[in-house]
Structure 1
Amino acid sequence: MAPARDRRTGFSRRRQYGVFMGYVLAVAGAVVGLVLLVASTFNPPAFSALRMGVAGVTAPVSTGLATVGSGIAGIPEAIGQYFFVKQENVALRADRDRTRALLMRARTIAYDNRRLRSLLAIRDRAAEPVVTARLVSSSASSGRRYALLNAGRWSGVKPGMPVRGPDGLIGRVVETGPNAARVLLLSDGDSIVPVRRTRDGLPAIAAGRGDGMVDIRSVNATNVRFNAGDLFVTTGTGGIYGPGVPVARVAKAGSDSVMARTFADPDTLDFALVENVFMPVPPPRPIAQQ
């Protein structure tokens, strides 16, 4: 029976040097990683340029992977729509007939509102869109909640711009690179958005929890009762977000501070709209020379 091959380094200097260098590289990598972790914890802005540089390189790859993933995920839905399109058409026609009266009433109210606004000379300031970009990734498992857009300074994206999806507000841009931007999500612990309740205009604050949800906190009042299902939209206060953008829905009834779920889920979104700041800060007035 042939003896088993000896896997120890033995007296081979080449193997000894190889094992030694492997240990040295492993220890050096661990030390460098620890130093970078400590530095990023105590001084996050120092790594902003490095982060956005890496994001600019990885954004095209993430865009391709997101496109392929969304295409594969849409195959079952397309098959289901193909087989059940007749039933869906029947249901849509029935809904149309039921809501026709409500639609006519809504059109009448909208016409009256436009006429009254023209009589009162009221001007609505709407946020202007900058670019439509793809959300290629989001941090769903870390303590911080960010998302990555595949559009940056080349597309006119600047820090502070609000980002929204088809269902509601997503967050705001905090960092930009040439072709990528980092978005602070509503659920992040540093996110605070002034909101109001749709049914009575009650002012409140939507503060991120860091776990995918937000807290709705009352302002200027105590013992405020929140009901499950209460809807909250932006107020326009602060000048960043335009008024009337859906933000969150209360998940469970409570008083003063309750937990709510955001309308826009970054993990299920493909595209997002970047808008200009609702009320930009005016430039400083020039100092008159003496």
Structure 2
Amino acid sequence: MRDSARNRSMRLPRSSPYRSLTLVVALIVLAVLLLTLDQGGLLGSFRSQVQTLLTPLLTPLRRVGDSLSGAGSSLGDVQQLRDRVAQLEQANSRLSAENIQVQELKLRLAQLETQLRIEQERPWQLLGADVSARSPDGGRRLLMLNAGADRGVKPGMAVLGQEGGSPPALIGVVETVGPRSASVLLITDYNSSVSAQVYHQGVIATGVVQGQWQVGSRLKLESIDRAQPLVDGDVVFTAGLTAQFDAELPRAAILKDIPIGTVEQIQVDGHNQSAGVRPFVDPERVTHAWVLLSHDE
């Protein structure tokens, strides 16, 4: 009995159908009342008060929304900037490569113009070649040209260079030749001996230009008779007699009248005199040279 009574007391009260109907009617009446008040302009003040209360709450939310929108736009702008930078870097790389090619073409043109001018001024047939390698500082004074037997280069041919406003001058002699390369013994090497002559007031003095690099100098003019006039500044040329006394190097006779340098620091020793020679072209700075292939009389 007690359990039955307890169960009845724990049951939820059932909603009365009259209560639901009353709630619906109340909502309808409230809606009609609000419409009437709104049409009569009586809700304006109420709406203003609600707006006044909600504005402080809505303003921060609106700012947050604007910030999020701006952040999204900024991210898009950053990506566009990155794409633009990548495009500019590619364009810059392309222009740099094209500029290098233009500079190389200008250099080649200048070299060809120099060769043409030399061949017009002198009866020489020249072959231009780039210096591809040099000997170590402590060894023999050699350089390697990127032209060889395939282009007519032979041992004993003179190799010329030009520097600044100097005349085209002797810098070495071809020593060995490969199909597409040639080794050049520089005139500054101690093993280099070139017959030479000096013109002074109509008098020709002959001697030998010896390389002096390994002994701390560059060139020395030797075996000049002391009776021959010789002064500082005299120009030294090849004499074309090298093959007659150079037995160690299988070279052809170096042509005569190729400029070498100028006389400086004359010294008298017994019946002979010697002098230092300042070369017109420093062989150590040459990057492009010309092989003298032939001489047209």
* TM-score normalised according to structure 1 size: 0.48
Larger % of strand: which? 2
* TM-score normalised according to structure 2 size: 0.47
